[in-house]
Amino acid sequence: MPKNDTLLKSIGDFDTATLYEAAGQQGAMVPEMRPLSRGMRVVGPAFTVACPPGDNLMLHAAVAAAARGDVLVVQCHDFAFGVWGEVLLTAAQARGIAGLILDGAVRDVPALERSGFPIFCRAVSMRAATKVRRGIVRMPVTCGGQLVRPGDVVAADETGVVVLPAAGLPEVLEKARARQEREAKLMADVRGGKTTLELLALTPLLDDVKEK
């Protein structure tokens, strides 16, 4: 997918929960995929990587090959070894890579946190990875329980990580805007004294429970 900076910027205006709902409640990675530090957020096209267990050779290859603004999305098959640390971080920042979504473990945590570079991962491990086994790049991978294809857009924040297929981005954006407008009106009505039971038409459901 050719990069569309305007479209990506617009997607970045929304939190991941809104994007997930706008995408038809599809694309959410498992809740264990967490930001390394509070406040981390990233949106960008996926540069996909798959590493053999305990080896990060393909991460070195990916950092060298990825374009500025790409987000590395990595399938690791393993959480016991820290496949990403300060050296790869420094290389990624130098090349303008936007962030890392890693279904695995990182190490050198203090340096990673100080950098502010957006990292979402499953675990932390001090154990070093090898650099001898080949994997793949720019092919579909499974990360955080979701299929991710090269060029899909990934969005991540403190609520989670969502995968958005490239072809559906304009529709997702339109639905996200509409949802944001509806929620703004809902919040205004709540502040005005109306109950969520009334606004969301939930009272009949409670009446039905009482009758049973």
CA separation (Å) from 63 to 21, 57, 67? 32, 10, 9
Residues with Cβ < 8 Å from 148, sequence gap 6 or more? 46, 48, 73, 140, 141, 142, 154, 163
pTM: 0.91
Q: Which two tokens stand for residue 83?
A: 């496949």
**Residue 104: pLDDT band by 50, 70, 90 thresholds?**
very high
What pLDDT sits at residue 208?
Answer: 64
Q: Is 86 annotated for ligand binding?
A: yes
Summarize the confidence of residues 16-28 as an average pLDDT.
98
Q: Is 87 annotated for ligand binding?
A: yes
- For residue 168, the 8-state DSSP code is G
For residue 69, is pLDDT > 90? yes
Summarize the confidence of residues 155-170 as an average pLDDT.
96
Rounded CA-CA distance 143/202 in Å is 36
For residue 212, is pLDDT > 60? no
| Fold of the domain spanning 5-166 | Glucose Oxidase; domain 1 (3.50.30)
Summarize the confidence of residues 108-123 as an average pLDDT.
98
Rounded CA-CA distance 120/11 in Å is 18
The percent helix, strand, coil of the chain (3-state, each to 5) is: 35, 25, 35
**Residue 210: pLDDT band by 50, 70, 90 thresholds?**
low
Summarize the confidence of residues 178-194 as an average pLDDT.
94
Q: Is 88 annotated for ligand binding?
A: yes
Q: Is 107 annotated for ligand binding?
A: yes
What pLDDT sits at residue 4?
Answer: 74
List, by residue range, all CATH 3.50.30.40 domains of the chain: 5-166
Q: Label the pairing between strands 141-143 and 153-157.
A: unpaired
Q: What percent of the chain has pLDDT over 90?
A: 90
Q: Label the pairing between strands 42-50 and 71-75.
A: parallel
Summarize the confidence of residues 36-57 as an average pLDDT.
98
